[in-house]
Structure 1
């Protein structure tokens, strides 16, 4: 019996052993390794690639290496949503470790003009594991750190003496942990190389972080704690070269930058590409020596500046992307033969070493390139027609503070506006406006964040083509063409324009709230007002929202307030006036929400009294969000993140195919994000229609779901829609060269461009917005139809002309989209159907449009149906 159990245990330990590699297979030929350093095999109990390595195992082993070796130091730079640590290693000689902060300060100072030490070490950054499903991109950290902890000899000593190697392991611990769980769940004693096996199918679910965000789009956006941690560390060090390690489809071989020549962001200097090509020669030499297949300068681009290999290139560094054909389940069949997890780990480890050697081979050139990049900022600013940008969020303090924090993390200088300035029809006030000068070290990054780009050398994009940050935040902003200088001559031509540099984002805390004997007003102008509203509703208090602008007597006299303003009365509440006052005090202190005590139920003009019909009670929302089964995880995660993290509202997540047995009476809102196959199953479809029409539910449908819902819930396309004309028999026949197919196929795709929309700010979904122009990120070409029976239903529409603000859109697609609805709110029976052609919470970054979703959740009951019928005039 014991022998049987021992054999069974041995079988369990040999899970996918055919693809495993002992550490001996990773050691460099002729290199002696310190036997006092614990090997991965000894710690883990198996070879690399034999089975997934849990995050806690990796953390424990890598920390042990740092304890055992004077060459490694480690710190925790952040934690994930699931509270896992993000480890940051500094790898260099023991002598450098003793003065590591001095080295960092000297390096950063050299970029600001200080003298360069010829013996200063190169600063090299390595990203491992931004995508949780990409196993080799994470596990390569183990042989790399073991190698530098244990390898002996002149070569490794030289590398450690001439460089400081900064390693983030792992960038995405939450996604990594989901991958491990998936592979362990579907693995057996015998490896299965069939690509159809479930063990190999774990793309988005494990690729993303806790809220299903693609973290390799977050280097610019910074909405997630992981990216905030890495970018803060990256900017603190400003590395010269950054390597970013990934996996791609199993059918592919091995890829490394410099990437497709025509798909480079114009802000990236050409020399960066030349340096990357020089480093690529070292990768080639290694891969050729082993007969490995690879490709470069094909497929992958350097356009969107929010990716880990492109972000460094607009910040003075060299970014290098590595991709290997995935073997996520251990071993998998591919057109190039069987691909193994262990081989992928080893190749990424070895190209990490070639990145270091390739950098050191161009050590002086790279140091001079980076120094010149920042030194040229002043000259580039002088040549640029725009000298600064002035920005404001008006009364929305939280949106402005998020923007200031964004600039600070990217090391962009921002100043207070010192005096009123009028640009066009907009006057910017020092009370809520700031100035971002282009004459600063981060000149290129300012351009990357603020520029509008609508013309491109090529129309093929790996990611979005437009991301102008002030548009995403819906800020009032304007370019200034005044001359702005720093140093002793600061403000020589506009001495009163630029105020003090903003070093810290102000606290949102407000002062004490005076007691009221009547109730409290909370304006709807701040984007975090929704968070405060839910907190009040969750306490069981009654809240009323204004349907129109009004005036009221407060403790400070008569004041005017806009539609959407919230009123918390003392009358009719179950809580005492003392308890209500304590709550609003807490909201003012913790959320920074303005709370105004009310002295009377009306102002001098009593046409909109607080107790009248122009105020509507707000129901506490109970939100259901569907995901999977054709709904895009990215879209669903962004909705979930906004409601949960931003509004602190509980959200019920349910797979789209599992709606049949729900108790619909407990939900007020159903949100259907976009995706590829969004239609509801027949039974669920009919149940949702009844829930909306008869039970007063609100359906909020986004992107592709909006197009399905318009047809399925609102009766389909209008019969008067013009039919496409059939081509004439003698029409010219089209014929193109096959080589043009890629570019022509991409010509009419809408790749993440920002469109202007005209927003009805008097509509409940428009409450809290200051003006009618609302930028919106659009990445689909499908359009909503105009509703013919309700002229009040279109809340926002794309203008007939000039709809594209930034990003690539073909002339044909712009013509199709212009003049169509962007947001529709249509009462149906007792409920509402709200359609949004775009995703208002795209990547958690569009702080301008996310209010649309917040208003749809809180204010859907404020939307009335017209009382009559209308004909076209």
Structure 2
């Protein structure tokens, strides 16, 4: 009786609080000619309202989908991971009950078939469907409900044949944290009367709900894999290596329905053109079975590309699968008026659901061709490897084992074989040392994926890119790497695959005098944060020194952290315990010093000019109000998640309300960083008078150089404005408009490693990711203010017109200057782009910890 009463209250509440116009029973979504098992719980019976009536909370969706999986012997479910906010990520395997009983054998047979081995003729097709990678894109997420209900409850001969022929893999949902943020937004702003006005706030929640907890676009994570959601799903993807991957999204509300194959010219050359042909064949199933009979508008070969291999619809194509992108005009608030009429969320869910069914049917109809394509893909990859003059890549990150191991972990998540180097190798004029270097053979199934990660590409058939054009990951990781062109017989490699496990440092000895830590390790900033958070005094070396330790003499580079016993409130035993934690949990080698005396003249550990005090940073990170949320999120993740540093998040326009005396650093990221006059005045007073440090990146750096130093970019006077422009055809506009855009490419810079921002780097070359055209202006009165500069021939990977390359060459990549008692550090690029540049990440950490060490030029210098 209580359950009936509760159901009645839920139904009454739904009727009172929402519009029935967008609510639809499950029968609205289902194909008309399919019978359904009445014993399987419908969504409305579980939720107490119909799909489209109100947003479906993640916990309710999880409970319902687990419930119907328990009711059906066709569906198995497992939790494959958890988000930052500890929400579960569910993975469903859907097939016939008979197939479920032999699912491991089916997977083994499918993978054997990819290797060209014989497999039973009845081995099912393996198909994958992505639901909900973007939290703001509601129909893709909610479509998981009718899809799984359909396969659980459909009760006719056709569904039996379909499930006998296929294994269907679903992740629901890909982005639980973003999904929950969207639900909260819509419920916060719902109206009793459904508001269809696009201006209403209920419809406007793009980036905020699109992203995960740290504001990452998870659809850019398939290659980079820094977030837990992507790490969870990529493991299952490679466990199965599906033949087709359908990827469901939303776009602007006025847009018609879109599905791949996309733009013909915008295909990564590592992807076979045959993939596009087969994708088009499956697309014909959408049109013939659903879209054309209902007279729906759609488009299939415009606007979207298959170039960047880190997106959910392109990554499968570089791994032997077909990737199919679906985009539909959004109705996030339920109903919205557009220039193509009223768009409803329920109808969008129906479209996404029905095209999931036609994707399955389309794949079944070209079964033999799919099998042949996927098998031949890997055969052709082996042939490409045999023709490739590069037999392997060798790489290292000398002085920073975690950076090399992190790259190994990334490669292994992409199912790429990596081996530890067991004998020194000489290549490109340097020695790769055994024990700290790794080898990636080119002759393996993932040959094309290896090339997609390692290749430096700078020439393209077309200059329009939906996403970044360059992403060479060894450069992003600041690795030393070389291609090996000889045979591999002379290369001594481990027999077992390397896994890149985190390496703890040796347990440090008890120090007679104090402790020293090298700054070159990835987690040295995290270790320093532990030290300062424990209220210990710490000093950083500004010069290389030779230290006397319990294990002999050790060479310490610039930035090495010295923790003396002198003047500490903590006992020696507790200090040693903290150093043991640093060695075991951060992997940073801790040296036990026996003396403060060094053989370096004037550079003893007590020398005030050599070892400078390091203060605990109190960081303000501004976000929103014109600032790019992605950039802010990448900064937040780096400082908070990677280095466990306390960060205070403040909306940009609320900066005027903070107590500036509580903070040491302000970070302004790309976007519109312009501050109000009053806030700008406060910031300048804080820098000049209180010794604060402003770190500004991308567009914020361009704004700040004018705001605080009155420097402006010079107008381009290379063209005579009186000249008549060349007459062009509108058909050429898209290509010509994009000619000088830098959508995302890697550029080479030269670093002054003696500058505080250069501490801990192994060499002077640093790759940075650049996605804007503005340049920083070189200070006229300080020859030391440019610690990082673009080289004369800076393009490493990706697209940039020659004009842009010439404009950027030789300009500052970082400007670091004193302003009164404080510092202003301007970075032309985002040093932590997509959390995948551990090389330039150190620039940020150095800017936070070592900014007080930036010196002001006081001499008289002649112009060069």
Q: TM-score, normalised by structure 1?
A: 0.96
Q: Is the 8 A contact 2:506 2:589 kept in 1?
A: no
Residue matched to 2:128 = 125
Choose from 711, 723, 738 the match for 2:706. 711
Cα deviation for residue 103 of structure 1 reads 1.3
Q: For 2:328, what is the secondary structure of its paired residue?
A: strand
1:849 counterpart = 2:853: no
Q: Is the 8 A contact 1:635 1:839 kept in 2?
A: yes
CA distance in 1, matches of 2:721, 2:190: 59
CA distance in 2, matches of 1:88, 1:607: 63
Q: Is the 8 A contact 1:460 1:743 kept in 2?
A: yes
Cα deviation for residue 377 of structure 1 reads 2.4
Cα deviation for residue 684 of structure 1 reads 0.5
Which has the higher mean CA deviation after the structures are superposed, 27-36 or 762-771?
Answer: 27-36
Cα deviation for residue 78 of structure 1 reads 0.4
Q: For 2:338, what is the secondary structure of its paired residue?
A: coil
Residue matched to 2:803 = 812
Deviations 1:175-208 (A, max 9, x none): 0000001011111111111111100000000000
Q: Is the 8 A contact 1:14 1:50 kept in 2?
A: no
Residue matched to 1:587 = 582
CA distance in 1, matches of 2:688, 2:169: 58
Residue matched to 1:667 = 663
CA distance in 2, matches of 1:358, 1:604: 75
CA distance in 2, matches of 1:207, 1:507: 32
CA distance in 1, matches of 2:607, 2:333: 64
1:531 counterpart = 2:526: yes
Q: TM-score, normalised by structure 2?
A: 0.97
1:779 counterpart = 2:771: yes
Q: Is the 8 A contact 1:386 1:438 kept in 2?
A: yes
Cα deviation for residue 108 of structure 1 reads 1.6
Q: Is the 8 A contact 2:249 2:327 kept in 1?
A: yes
1:323 counterpart = 2:295: no
Cα deviation for residue 726 of structure 1 reads 5.7
Cα deviation for residue 417 of structure 1 reads 1.9
CA distance in 1, matches of 2:596, 2:151: 72
CA distance in 1, matches of 2:485, 2:464: 33
Choose from 263, 267, 270 the match for 1:267. 270
Cα deviation for residue 311 of structure 1 reads 0.3
Cα deviation for residue 11 of structure 1 reads 7.2
How large is the Cα RMSD of the aligned pairs?
Answer: 1.5
Choose from 60, 63, 70 the match for 2:63. 60
1:722–1:46 distance in 2 versus 1, CA, 3 Å: closer
Pairs within 5 Å for 1:113-192: 113-192=116-195
1:554 counterpart = 2:549: yes
Cα deviation for residue 100 of structure 1 reads 1.2
Cα deviation for residue 375 of structure 1 reads 2.1
1:544 counterpart = 2:539: yes
Q: Is the 8 A contact 1:121 1:163 kept in 2?
A: yes
Residue matched to 1:724 = 717
CA distance in 1, matches of 2:50, 2:249: 21
CA distance in 1, matches of 2:433, 2:717: 51
CA distance in 2, matches of 1:247, 1:726: 42
CA distance in 2, matches of 1:353, 1:763: 60
Deviations 1:718-764 (A, max 9, x none): 8xx576156174x4531100111111111110011000001111101
Residue matched to 2:18 = 15
Residue matched to 1:392 = 396
Choose from 483, 488, 501 the match for 1:479. 483
Choose from 560, 568, 579 the match for 1:573. 568
Q: Is the 8 A contact 1:276 1:320 kept in 2?
A: yes
Cα deviation for residue 421 of structure 1 reads 2.0
1:601 counterpart = 2:596: yes
Deviations 1:515-541 (A, max 9, x none): 012001100010110001001100010
Residue matched to 1:750 = 742
Q: Is the 8 A contact 1:317 1:370 kept in 2?
A: yes
1:412 counterpart = 2:404: no
CA distance in 2, matches of 1:498, 1:458: 41
Structure 1 spans left out of the alignment, 5+ residues? 485-490
Q: For 2:426, what is the secondary structure of its paired residue?
A: strand
Choose from 355, 368, 389 the match for 2:359. 355
1:398–1:604 distance in 2 versus 1, CA, 3 Å: same
Residue matched to 2:79 = 76
CA distance in 2, matches of 1:391, 1:504: 15
Cα deviation for residue 6 of structure 1 reads 9.3
1:65–1:793 distance in 2 versus 1, CA, 3 Å: same
Residue matched to 1:297 = 301
Cα deviation for residue 423 of structure 1 reads 1.9
Cα deviation for residue 430 of structure 1 reads 1.1
Pairs within 5 Å for 1:163-562: 163-285=166-288, 286-484=290-488, 491=489, 494=490, 496-562=491-557
Deviations 1:759-779 (A, max 9, x none): 111101000101111000000
Cα deviation for residue 284 of structure 1 reads 1.1
Residue matched to 2:3 = none
Q: Is the 8 A contact 2:77 2:90 kept in 1?
A: yes
CA distance in 1, matches of 2:558, 2:548: 16
Residue matched to 1:869 = 860
CA distance in 1, matches of 2:291, 2:428: 58
CA distance in 2, matches of 1:717, 1:172: 42
CA distance in 2, matches of 1:158, 1:726: 68
CA distance in 2, matches of 1:398, 1:739: 50
CA distance in 2, matches of 1:56, 1:851: 39
Cα deviation for residue 47 of structure 1 reads 1.3
Cα deviation for residue 431 of structure 1 reads 2.1
Deviations 1:334-365 (A, max 9, x none): 11110000000000000000000011111111
Q: For 1:520, what is the secondary structure of its paired residue?
A: strand
Cα deviation for residue 225 of structure 1 reads 0.3
Cα deviation for residue 578 of structure 1 reads 0.6
Residue matched to 2:99 = 96
CA distance in 2, matches of 1:102, 1:649: 47
Q: Is the 8 A contact 2:10 2:48 kept in 1?
A: no
Q: For 2:223, what is the secondary structure of its paired residue?
A: helix
Cα deviation for residue 552 of structure 1 reads 1.5
Q: Is the 8 A contact 1:16 1:330 kept in 2?
A: no
Residue matched to 2:831 = 840
Q: Is the 8 A contact 2:420 2:498 kept in 1?
A: no
Q: Is the 8 A contact 1:11 1:189 kept in 2?
A: no
Runs of 4+ in 1 over 6 A off after TM superposition: 5-8
CA distance in 2, matches of 1:16, 1:609: 76
Choose from 606, 622, 627 the match for 2:623. 627
Q: For 1:848, what is the secondary structure of its paired residue?
A: helix
Which has the higher mean CA deviation after the structures are superposed, 103-112 or 664-673?
Answer: 103-112
Q: For 1:560, what is the secondary structure of its paired residue?
A: strand
CA distance in 2, matches of 1:377, 1:728: 53
CA distance in 1, matches of 2:831, 2:721: 41
Structure 2 spans left out of the alignment, 5+ residues? 1-7
Residue matched to 1:616 = 612
Q: For 1:333, what is the secondary structure of its paired residue?
A: strand
Q: Is the 8 A contact 2:402 2:502 kept in 1?
A: no
Cα deviation for residue 604 of structure 1 reads 2.7
Residue matched to 2:687 = 692
Cα deviation for residue 115 of structure 1 reads 1.3
CA distance in 2, matches of 1:326, 1:346: 13
Residue matched to 1:827 = 818
Cα deviation for residue 14 of structure 1 reads 5.0
Cα deviation for residue 414 of structure 1 reads 0.8
Q: Is the 8 A contact 1:37 1:68 kept in 2?
A: yes
Q: Is the 8 A contact 1:558 1:603 kept in 2?
A: no
Deviations 1:434-463 (A, max 9, x none): 111110010010011001110111111000
Q: Is the 8 A contact 1:413 1:501 kept in 2?
A: no
Q: Is the 8 A contact 2:598 2:605 kept in 1?
A: no
Q: Is the 8 A contact 2:549 2:595 kept in 1?
A: yes
Q: For 2:420, what is the secondary structure of its paired residue?
A: strand
Cα deviation for residue 482 of structure 1 reads 1.4
